Structure 1
Amino acid sequence: MANPQAANPPPAPPVFVLNSLDANVSVIDPASWAESQRFATGKEPHHLYLTPDEKSLVIANALGDSLTFVDPRTAQVQRVVTGIVDPYHLRFSPDMKWFITAANRLNHIDFYRWDGKELTLVQRVPTGKTPSHLWIDSKSRTVYSTMQDSDELVAIDMATQKLKWRVKTGPMPADLYGSPDDKTLFIGLTGGKGVEVFDISGDQPARSVQIIPTGAGAHAFRGAGDGKHIYVSNRVANTISKIDMASRQAVESYAAPGGPDCMDVSADGRYIYVGARWARKLLVIDTHEKKVVRSVNVGKSPHGVWTLHHAAR
Structure 2
Amino acid sequence: MFMVACWACGLQAAQPPVFVLNSLQADISVIDPESWVETARIPTGKEPHHLYLTPDEKSLIVANALGDSLTFVDPATAQVQRTVRGIVDPYHLRFSPDMHWLVTAANRLNHVDFYRWDGQNLTLVQRVPTGKTPSHLWIDSGSRVLYASMQDSDELVAIDIGTQKVLWRTSTGAMPADVYGSPDGKRIFVGLTGSDSVEVFDISGEQPRSVQRIKTGSGAHAFRAAGDGRHLFVSNRVANTISKVDMQALRVVDSYPAPGGPDCMDVSTDGRWIYVSARWARKLLVIDTVERKVARSIPVGKSPHGVWTLKHAKR
* TM-score bucket of the superposed structures, by smaller chain: over 0.9
Corresponding residue SS for 1:47: strand
Q: CA deviation at 1:52?
A: 2.6
Corresponding residue for residue 16 of structure 2: 13
Corresponding residue SS for 2:170: strand
Corresponding residue for residue 203 of structure 2: 200
Deviation digits for residues 238-262 of structure 1 (CA, Å, limit 9, x no counterpart): 0000000000000000000000000
Q: CA deviation at 1:202?
A: 2.1
1:302 matches 2:307: no
Deviation digits for residues 177-219 of structure 1 (CA, Å, limit 9, x no counterpart): 1001111011000000110010111222x11111001000000
Corresponding residue for residue 35 of structure 1: 38
TM-score, normalising length from structure 2?
0.95
Corresponding residue for residue 72 of structure 1: 75
Alpha-carbon separation, structure 2, partners of 1:259 and 1:53: 32
Alpha-carbon separation, structure 1, partners of 2:74 and 2:144: 30
Corresponding residue for residue 223 of structure 1: 225
1:81 matches 2:80: no
Alpha-carbon separation, structure 2, partners of 1:36 and 1:92: 28
Q: CA deviation at 1:141?
A: 1.2
Alpha-carbon separation, structure 2, partners of 1:188 and 1:77: 32
Corresponding residue SS for 2:147: strand
Alpha-carbon separation, structure 1, partners of 2:235 and 2:84: 31
Deviation digits for residues 45-84 of structure 1 (CA, Å, limit 9, x no counterpart): 0011112321111000000000000111111111100000
Query: Which segments of 5 or more consecutive residues in structure 2 lack a partner in the other structure?
Result: 1-12
Q: CA deviation at 1:304?
A: 0.2
Corresponding residue SS for 2:189: strand
Alpha-carbon separation, structure 1, partners of 2:256 and 2:40: 29
Corresponding residue for residue 140 of structure 1: 143
TM-score, normalising length from structure 1?
0.96
Alpha-carbon separation, structure 1, partners of 2:213 and 2:57: 36
| 1:1-313 mapped onto 2 (5 Å cutoff) | 11-204=14-207, 206-313=208-315
Structure 1 stretches of 4+ moved >3 Å: none
Alpha-carbon separation, structure 1, partners of 2:68 and 2:206: 35
Cα RMSD (Å): 0.7
Q: CA deviation at 1:11?
A: 1.1
% identical equivalent positions: 77
**What count of residue pairs does the alignment treat as equivalent?**
303
Alpha-carbon separation, structure 2, partners of 1:173 and 1:128: 12
Alpha-carbon separation, structure 2, partners of 1:75 and 1:32: 16
Alpha-carbon separation, structure 2, partners of 1:127 and 1:197: 21
Corresponding residue for residue 6 of structure 1: none
Query: Which segments of 5 or more consecutive residues in structure 1 lack a partner in the other structure?
Result: 1-9
Alpha-carbon separation, structure 2, partners of 1:116 and 1:104: 26
Q: CA deviation at 1:20?
A: 0.3
Q: CA deviation at 1:150?
A: 0.6
